[in-house]
Amino acid sequence: MIRDNIEEYVRSIPDFPEKGIIFRDVTSVLQDADGLRMAIDEMQKKLEGLEFDKIAGLESRGFIFGMPIAYNLHKPFVLVRKKGKLPCETISESYDLEYGKAEIELHKDAVLPGEKVVIIDDLIATGGTVAAAANLIERLGGDVVKMVFLMELAGLNGRDKLQKYDVESVISYEGK
């Protein structure tokens, strides 16, 4: 059954991973052909009229949404991966998690100086991962011209870390 808006495809799971949290499950979007098409189409609309050279997707759900958009727009796709997953020479950036640190990497030749890059991911929460990805792109001389997310957990204030960027999300949830 085709639904009227993308929010209707997102499954909300109360009290996961802990009491008081509503988990927004993207797998329910991916498992429905109409929901998946709508999600990709709505994210792609956020790029209309924008001049850019490449799309970067964050592991792993950024690959799911970014790759078909790159394909549709005939743009190269850049993988931003967890440390140790890329085979060639890389640069890395660490960032804070709720309980510890993580690190992501980018091939040194993935972005050339002056290239305009759009970052795609499924979710913006605290903004730490995407801020680290933007730093990697900028360290290579790229220019992050937009960030597009399917969902945003506005209550976690991820936009605060991304104030210098053009950030858009298809769905915004007020809570955490």
For 37-69, write each residue's pLDDT tens digit: 999 999 999 999 999 999 999 999 999 999 999
Least trusted range by pLDDT, from 15-19, 28-32, 70-74, 84-88: 15-19
pLDDT band at 100; cut points 50, 70, 90: confident
Peptide bond into 172 cis (omega under 30): no
Among residues 18, 48, 51, 98, the one annotated as catalytic is 98
Phi then psi for residue 25, to 5 deg, are -95, 110
Whether the CB-CB separation of 162 and 138 falls below 8 Å is answered with: no
User: Global pTM?
Assistant: 0.95
Tens of pLDDT, residue by residue over 130-143, are 999 999 999 999 99
Active site residue 98: yes
Residue 85 DSSP code: -
Beta bridge partners of 167: 147
Residue 1 above 80 pLDDT? no
Among residues 59, 61, 159, 168, the one annotated as catalytic is 61
Active site residue 24: no
The average pLDDT across 144-150 equals 98
Residues in the chain: 176
The average pLDDT across 155-176 equals 93
Give the DSSP letter string of 133-173: HHHHHHHTT-EEEEEEEEEEEGGG-GGGGGTTS-EEEEEEE
The enclosing H or E element of 27 equals: helix 27-30
